[in-house]
Structure 1
Amino acid sequence: MRRFFHTAFATAGLMAALMTAAAAEPKTVTDVTGRKVEIDVPVKHVILGEGRQIYFLAALDREAPFSHVVGWRDDLAKADPETYAAYLAKYPEIAKLPVFGGMKDGTFDIEQAVALKPDVIVMNIDSKTATEEAGYIEKLAKVGIPLVYVDFRDKAMENTEPSMRLLGTLMGREQVAEDFIRFRAEQIRRVTDVLDKAKPTKPLVFVERAGGYSEDCCMSFGAENFGRMVEIAGGENMAKSLIPGTFGTVNPEQIIAANPDQVIVTGGNWQAYVPGGAWVGVGYGADLKEAQRKLKALTERPAFTGIKAVKSGEVHGIWHQFYNNPYQFVAVQQIAKWLHPDLFADLDPTATFKELHERFLPLPYKPGYFVSVKDQL
Structure 2
Amino acid sequence: MVARAAAISLALMPGLAMADKVKITDIAGREVEVNVPVNRVILGEGRQIYFTAALDTDAPFKRVVGWRDDFKKADLDGYNIYLQKFPDMEKIPTFGGMKDGTFDIEQAVALKPDVIIMNTEAKSATEESGYIEKLARVGIPLVYIDFREKPMQNTDASMRIIGTLFGKEDRAEEFVKFRQAEIAKVTDTLAKAGDIRKPVVFMERAGGYSDDCCMSFGNENFGAMVELAGGVNLAKDIIPGTFGTVNPEQIIASNPDQIIVTGSNWELYVPGGKWVGVGPGANQEEARTKLAALMQRPGFTGVKGVTEGNVHAIWHQFYNSPYQFVAVQQIAKWLHPDLFKDLDPDATFRELHERFLPVTYHPGYFASLNSGS
Taking the TM superposition and a 5 Å limit, the aligned residue runs for 1:44-83 are 44-83=39-78
Deviations 1:304-338 (A, max 9, x none): 00010001000000000000000000000000000
Shift of the 376–204 alpha-carbon distance from structure 1 to 2, 3 Å rule, reads closer
Structure 2 CA distance for aligned equivalents of residues 368 and 155 of structure 1: 26
Question: Structure 2-normalised TM-score?
Answer: 0.95
Structure 1 CA distance for aligned equivalents of residues 39 and 343 of structure 2: 40
Corresponding residue for 1:346? 342
Corresponding residue SS for 1:359:
helix
Partner amino acid, structure 1, of 2:104? D
Corresponding residue for 1:144? 139
Corresponding residue for 2:100? 105
1:215 to 211, 214, 221: 211
Corresponding residue for 1:334? 330
1:197 to 192, 206, 210: 192
Higher helix share goes to which structure? Answer: 1
Structure 1 alignment gaps of length 5 or more: 1-21
Corresponding residue for 2:354? 358
Corresponding residue SS for 1:281:
coil
Highest Rg: 1 or 2?
A: 1
Structure 1 CA distance for aligned equivalents of residues 371 and 274 of structure 2: 19
Give the drift of 1:376: 7.1
Partner amino acid, structure 1, of 2:40? H
Deviations 1:334-356 (A, max 9, x none): 00000000000000000000000
Structure 2 CA distance for aligned equivalents of residues 351 and 376 of structure 1: 18
Corresponding residue SS for 2:236:
helix
Deviations 1:68-109 (A, max 9, x none): 100001100000011111111111111110000100000000
Structure 2 CA distance for aligned equivalents of residues 334 and 94 of structure 1: 31
Corresponding residue for 1:164? 159
Deviations 1:174-197 (A, max 9, x none): 000000000000000000001011
Partner amino acid, structure 1, of 2:294? L
Partner amino acid, structure 1, of 2:289? R
1:305 to 276, 289, 301: 301
The answer to whether 1:287 aligns with 2:283 is: yes
Q: Please, which moves more after superposition, 81-90 or 229-238? A: 81-90
Corresponding residue SS for 1:309:
helix
Corresponding residue for 1:317? 313
**Runs (4+) off by over 3 Å:** none
Corresponding residue SS for 1:66:
coil
Partner amino acid, structure 2, of 1:284? P
Identity within the alignment, %? 69
The answer to whether 1:272 aligns with 2:265 is: no
Corresponding residue SS for 1:23:
coil
Tell me the matched-pair count: 357
Partner amino acid, structure 1, of 2:39? K
The answer to whether 1:235 aligns with 2:231 is: yes
Corresponding residue SS for 1:357:
helix
